[in-house]
């Protein structure tokens, strides 16, 4: 039976980079004989323009019925004036929440070819391989009550609620411990338990869960220190686990260590391993439509999709395809191809399309 992927390119550079990932998928299907069907939908601003909402019920149904979703990026100045509840980002948040995609895996891996493009000294980042595990369906992003109210004196007050239930903490901790077990066996849990009760509970539950993972070394760090340590000595980390908002911030920070946020894929998984795969970067409206965007994060997100949601016991082809795509990306970097965000003097400056073509070429001819 064929596997189903729903493709949601979104806004800004989303459609351009998605087109490259789909070319790569076609090449992978050809080389590895994968049986995958792709359907297409609108999300974010594109969906607002077409359907009046950032995620229509039909698209949500399609998402529920697919094995995996390949997501581009959402948002842009055109929709910035809309009230929070109707903005493009809401489409993304709704997908995460409705499909219960609570486990967000954000690897920050430095391709050795890009050590010079990092804003840190090459020796600080050479060999960098961090996995950030971000809780994605709870915390202050989704806590109620939320809003802006008017006080008796007429002044307005904005408010959000930072909440985590024990079960939410426990399930993300498990994912992080399991991930650490498959890597360097070190887990750093990030919180702000010196100030916020909710993250005090976070720490307690993570410690409790660690009893089942004696082979993983657990440490704790306050989020402000974690941000500093990420730019001071990032290689001290193996796996980091944290809540929704801290994870959002720290993952952008970790991304930049690798040279460009344009390189980083991510996976958001639920209990059934159904997943949504998206680049960590946003829709970059300033360069949309100019053939300048780096498509590699989107292409690497496709590789993650094949590995995490499509590969299963019955077929090794998807995992092999994922490996081959990652190798093709590395080969393209070896050949000196660079988009503007990772360019250096004397490189082979490539546009979005050329970069996609180069990956396809490497995938089919090595």
Exactly one of 238, 248, 318, 326 binds ligand IPM (CB under 6 A); that residue is 248
Of 61, 208, 224, 286, the catalytic one is 224
Which span (23-31, 88-96, 154-162, 322-330) binds ligand IPM, by CB under 6 A?
A: 88-96
Enumerate residues 308-347 that contact ligand IPM by CB under 6 A.
none
Indicate the burial class of 254 (C-beta count within 10 angstroms; 0-12, 13-18, 19 or more).
buried
Active site residue 224: yes
CA-wise closest residue to 180 among 223, 217, 211: 217
Closer residue to ligand IPM, CB minimum distance, 297 or 322: 297
Enumerate residues 275-294 that contact ligand IPM by CB under 6 A.
282
Whether the CA torsion 220, 224, 227, 233 is positive or negative: it is: negative
Cα separation, 318 vs 305, in Å, equals 9
Closer residue to ligand IPM, CB minimum distance, 92 or 350: 92
Closer residue to ligand IPM, CB minimum distance, 92 or 362: 92
Q: How far is the CB of 130 from Mg ion (least distance, A)?
A: 16
CA-wise closest residue to 92 among 132, 133, 41: 41
**Is the separation of the CB atoms in 18 and 305 below 8 Å?**
no
Give the torsion through C-alpha atoms of 27, 33, 36, 37, to 10 deg.
70
Distance of CA 152 to the CA centre of its chain: 42
Q: How far is the CB of 136 from ligand IPM (least distance, A)?
A: 7
Of 141, 213, 308, 337, the catalytic one is 141
Q: In the numeric block, which tokens belong to residue 187?
A: 């887990």
**Is the separation of the CB atoms in 5 and 37 below 8 Å?**
yes
Partner interacting with residue 92 (select from Mg ion, ligand IPM, none; CB below 5-8 Å by kind): ligand IPM
Q: How far apart are the first and last CA of the chain?
A: 29
**Is the separation of the CB atoms in 317 and 237 below 8 Å?**
no
Query: What character string, x for contact with Mg ion (CB under 5 A) and - otherwise, covers 190-229?
Result: ----------------------------------------
**Is the separation of the CB atoms in 103 and 73 below 8 Å?**
no
Cα separation, 90 vs 54, in Å, equals 6
Which span (89-97, 152-160, 207-215, 344-352) binds ligand IPM, by CB under 6 A?
A: 89-97
Partner interacting with residue 41 (select from Mg ion, ligand IPM, none; CB below 5-8 Å by kind): none
Closer residue to ligand IPM, CB minimum distance, 23 or 90: 90
CA-wise closest residue to 261 among 129, 106, 125: 106
Active site residue 141: yes
Partner interacting with residue 331 (select from Mg ion, ligand IPM, none; CB below 5-8 Å by kind): none
Would you tell me how many other CB atoms lie within 10 Å of the CB of residue 40? 13
Residue 92 binds ligand IPM (CB under 6 A): yes
Residue 248 binds Mg ion (CB under 5 A): yes
Active site residue 252: yes
Exactly one of 26, 51, 89, 100 binds ligand IPM (CB under 6 A); that residue is 89
Closer residue to ligand IPM, CB minimum distance, 216 or 262: 262
Indicate the burial class of 231 (C-beta count within 10 angstroms; 0-12, 13-18, 19 or more).
middle
Of 248, 277, 308, 337, the catalytic one is 248
Which span (99-107, 224-232, 240-248, 317-325) binds Mg ion, by CB under 5 A?
A: 240-248
CA distances from 162 to 107, 165, 243 (A): 25, 10, 10
Closer residue to ligand IPM, CB minimum distance, 10 or 234: 10
Q: How far is the CB of 89 from Mg ion (least distance, A)?
A: 10
**Which residues form the interface with ligand IPM (CB under 6 A)?**
89, 92-93, 248, 282
Q: Which residues are catalytic, by number? A: 141, 192, 224, 248, 252
**Which residues form the interface with Mg ion (CB under 5 A)?**
248
């Amino acid at each position: 039976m064929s596997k189903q992927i729903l493709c949601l390119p979104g806004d800004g550079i989303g459609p351009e980079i998605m087109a490259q990932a789909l070319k790569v998928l076609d090449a992978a299907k050809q080389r590895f004989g994968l049986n995958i069907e792709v359907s297409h939908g609108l999300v974010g601003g594109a969906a607002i323009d077409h359907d009046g909402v950032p995620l229509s019920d039909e698209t949500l149904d399609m998402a529920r019925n697919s094995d995996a979703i390949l997501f581009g990026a959402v948002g842009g100045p055109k929709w910035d004036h809309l009230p929070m509840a109707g903005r493009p980002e809401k489409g993304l948040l709704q997908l995460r929440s409705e499909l219960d995609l609570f486990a967000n895996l954000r690897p920050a891996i430095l391709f050795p070819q890009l050590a010079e493009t990092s804003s840190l000294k090459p020796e600080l980042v050479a060999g960098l391989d961090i996995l950030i595990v971000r809780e994605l369906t709870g915390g202050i992003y989704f806590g109620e009550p939320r809003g802006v109210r008017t006080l008796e004196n007429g002044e307005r007050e904005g408010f959000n609620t930072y909440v985590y239930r024990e079960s939410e903490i426990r399930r993300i901790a498990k994912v992080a411990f399991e991930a650490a077990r498959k890597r360097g066996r070190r887990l750093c849990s990030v919180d702000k338990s010196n100030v916020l009760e909710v993250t005090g509970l976070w720490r307690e539950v993570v410690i409790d869960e660690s009893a089942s993972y004696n082979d993983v070394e657990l440490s704790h760090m306050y989020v402000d220190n974690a941000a500093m340590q990420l730019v001071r000595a990032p290689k001290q980390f193996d796996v980091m686990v944290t809540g929704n908002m801290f994870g959002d911030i720290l993952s952008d920070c970790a991304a930049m260590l690798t040279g460009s946020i344009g390189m980083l894929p991510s996976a958001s998984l639920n209990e059934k391993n159904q997943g949504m795969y998206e680049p960590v970067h946003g829709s970059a409206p300033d360069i949309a439509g100019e053939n300048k965007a780096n498509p590699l994060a989107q292409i690497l997100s496709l590789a993650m999709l094949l590995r995490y949601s499509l590969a299963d016991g019955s077929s090794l082809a998807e995992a092999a395809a994922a490996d081959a795509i990652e190798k093709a990306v590395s080969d393209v970097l070896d050949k000196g191809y660079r988009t503007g965000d990772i360019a250096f003097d004397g490189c082979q400056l490539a546009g979005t399309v050329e970069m996609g073509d180069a990956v396809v070429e490497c995938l089919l001819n090595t």
